[in-house]
């Protein structure tokens, strides 16, 4: 029966143990960074910060809650790889275009993307241009070892076109709503001088 007072003493000591120490400054800093990133929609940065908090304090309720929220958001997010980033990773060894029509240039670029990626990247160009511009407007371009997106950029500049990378296609339109062959309009009156 001498064992009973010892167990009682252990229980009393356990119940009156000192409260856990406050979180270190490092934990507080990661929590602040994580919450700020989460509020901005930068979930990757937020996740990294909250994972650091969890490593330092695996019982941190705030970090656990945010990590659960991020996990739900990641599950619901579509798995879309940015097409422009994919295409920028392709290096075109050589481009030699001489008086090539706009239509044939974009056909060439589409085929080139497929070849350079071994068929893994398919690019769709949507040309919102007049038919005569696609069939008759020509450009000349010579480049070596250039990222695919830079080749597209220079083609667009030479043909006076805008290029917009979208989820499923690259949209090609005339600049400023003008016909691609049309020169920029001249100003009607000189700008006033500022003194």
**191: confidence class by pLDDT, cuts 50, 70, 90:** very low
**166: confidence class by pLDDT, cuts 50, 70, 90:** confident
Q: Do residues 90 and 45 share a domain? A: no
Q: Do residues 170 and 95 share a domain? A: yes
Identify the domain containing residue 36 by its residue range: 23-76
pLDDT in tens, 87-134: 989 999 999 999 999 999 999 999 999 999 998 888 999 999 999 999
pLDDT in tens, 50-71: 999 998 888 999 999 999 999 9
Q: Do residues 47 and 129 share a domain? A: no
Q: Do residues 69 and 100 share a domain? A: no
Our count of domains for the chain comes to: 2
- pTM given for the model: 0.51
* Average pLDDT over every residue of 150-178: 89
pLDDT at residue 77 above 70?
A: no
3-state secondary structure the chain: CCHHHHHHHHHHHHHCCCCCCCCCHHHHHHHHHHHHHHHHCCHHHHHHHHHHHHHHCCCCHHHHHHHHHHHHHHHHCCCCCCHHHHHHCCEEEEEEEEEEEHHHHHHHHHHHHHHHCCCCCCCCEEECCCHHHHHHCEEEEEEEEEEHHHHHHHHHHHCCEEEEECCCCEEEEEHHHCCCCCCCCCCCCCCCCCC
- Looking at every residue in the chain, the average pLDDT score rounds to 82
* Average pLDDT over every residue of 30-49: 90
Percentage of the chain exceeding pLDDT 90? 52
Q: Do residues 95 and 173 share a domain? A: yes
Q: In terms of pLDDT, which residue wins out, 27 or 9?
A: 27
pLDDT at residue 187 above 70?
A: no
**189: confidence class by pLDDT, cuts 50, 70, 90:** very low
């Amino acid at each position: 029966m001498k064992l009973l007072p010892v167990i009682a003493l252990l229980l009393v000591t356990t119940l009156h143990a000192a409260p856990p120490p406050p979180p270190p400054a490092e934990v507080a800093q990661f929590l602040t960074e994580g919450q700020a990133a989460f509020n901005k929609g930068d979930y990757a940065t937020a996740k990294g910060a909250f994972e650091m908090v969890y490593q330092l304090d695996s019982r941190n309720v705030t970090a656990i809650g945010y990590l659960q929220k991020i996990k739900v958001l990641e599950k619901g997010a579509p798995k879309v790889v940015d097409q422009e980033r994919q295409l920028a990773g392709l290096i075109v060894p050589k481009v030699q275009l001489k008086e090539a029509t706009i239509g044939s240039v974009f056909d060439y670029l589409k085929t080139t993307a497929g070849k350079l990626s071994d068929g893994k990247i398919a690019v769709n160009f949507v040309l919102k241009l007049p038919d005569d511009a696609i069939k008759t407007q020509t450009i000349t371009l010579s480049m070596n070892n250039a990222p695919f997106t830079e080749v597209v950029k220079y083609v667009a500049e030479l043909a006076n076109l805008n290029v917009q990378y979208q989820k499923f296609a690259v949209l090609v339109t005339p600049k400023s709503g003008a016909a691609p062959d049309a020169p920029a309009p001249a100003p009607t009156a000189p700008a006033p001088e500022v003194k």
